[in-house]
Amino acid sequence: MDSTCEPYGYDAFRRTCPSHAVLEMLSSKWVYLTVSALRHGRMRNGELARKLEGITPKMLTQTLRVLERDGLVRRQVFPVIPPHVEYELTALGQDLAGLLDQIRSWSERHVPEIRNARLIAERGREVA
């Protein structure tokens, strides 16, 4: 079988592969953190803003729109005044959240090693 067809007919190493758009979306730290925050249930915009320290309202809105567009998040509007909107992960989003939890656990476990490597690299630049 041609390597460009494994296993799902896509090859992320090829420049024209549509999976590049998915990888680009996933590379956003805000996508990562928003999906992770929604892993345990529905949240309103304000709850997400408080949970995701440093995110601007504009970036949160953009991130939620991207996640909704890509089928990872479901937006539910309740017909009340003032408007009440909740966000939750779809089955696809929950599947992704499991993978992201593994990445988060790995990063938290290896922070000391990575910080140490960075310090060594910085010292090396100072000496050179």
Report how far apart, in Å, the C-alpha atoms of 5 and of each of 13, 23, 25, 105, 110 are: 12, 18, 22, 32, 34
pTM for the complete prediction?
0.81
Whether residue 74 lies inside any domain: the answer is yes
- To 10 degrees, what angle do helices 57-69 and 29-38 make? 70
**What three-state secondary structure class fits 92?**
helix
pLDDT digits (tens, 9 = 90+) for 24-56: 898 899 999 999 999 999 999 999 999 999 999
Whether residue 10 lies inside any domain: the answer is no
Statement: residue 3 has pLDDT above 80: no
**What three-state secondary structure class fits 1?**
coil
Whether residue 20 lies inside any domain: the answer is no
Statement: residue 95 has pLDDT above 80: yes
The domain total for the chain is 1
Domain hosting 103: range is 29-127
pLDDT digits (tens, 9 = 90+) for 61-92: 999 999 999 999 999 999 999 889 999 999 99
Whether residue 17 lies inside any domain: the answer is no
CATH number (domain holding residue 76): 1.10.10.10
119: enclosing H helix or E strand: helix 91-127
